[in-house]
Amino acid sequence: MDFVSIRIITGDVARLVDFYERATGVGANWSTEDFAELGTASATLAIAGTRTVPLFAPGAARPADNHSVIIEFLVDDVDRVHLNLAGSTEDFVQEPTTMPWGNRSLLLRDPDGNLVNFFTPVTPAALAKFAR
């Protein structure tokens, strides 16, 4: 089994896609105006509009209502990501901070309020864990 994607349901697909394109530097592939994907080497972030929810099960997902998941991105330079997003969000939960487990981490909320962590391994153990 392979973990391949996570999907965010949103009321404004274009706004959320724009945020994640700016944050990751990855361009989105649009299937319809209600569905876009940002693919990386290891997984895909899918962003879908509320009109897609009834295709699965009406009411199964609600936009801007996540209180338990943190979306995480391994990046080359978390401080550069912080600078790039300075004008895109006001909701920085934690400025870049080196965590006890060896990652330098930036925690923020995307335009829908989802928690997002961008991190860069900085200690030898963390670097070894995420060696690419």
Backbone angles phi, psi at 13, to 5 degrees: -60, -45
Q: Is 26 in a helix, a strand, or coil?
A: coil
Regarding pTM above 0.85, the answer is yes
Mean pLDDT of 78-88: 91
Residue 89 reports pLDDT greater than 90? no
pLDDT at 51: 95
By three-state DSSP, how is residue 31 classified?
Answer: strand
Contact 14/54 with Cβ under 8 angstroms? no
Q: What is the pLDDT of residues 60-75, one digit of tens each?
A: 999 999 889 999 999 9
Rounded mean pLDDT, 75-102 = 92
Biggest CA-to-CA distance, the chain: 47
Candidates 3.30.750.24, 3.90.600.10, 1.10.510.10, 3.30.720.120; CATH matching 1-58: 3.30.720.120
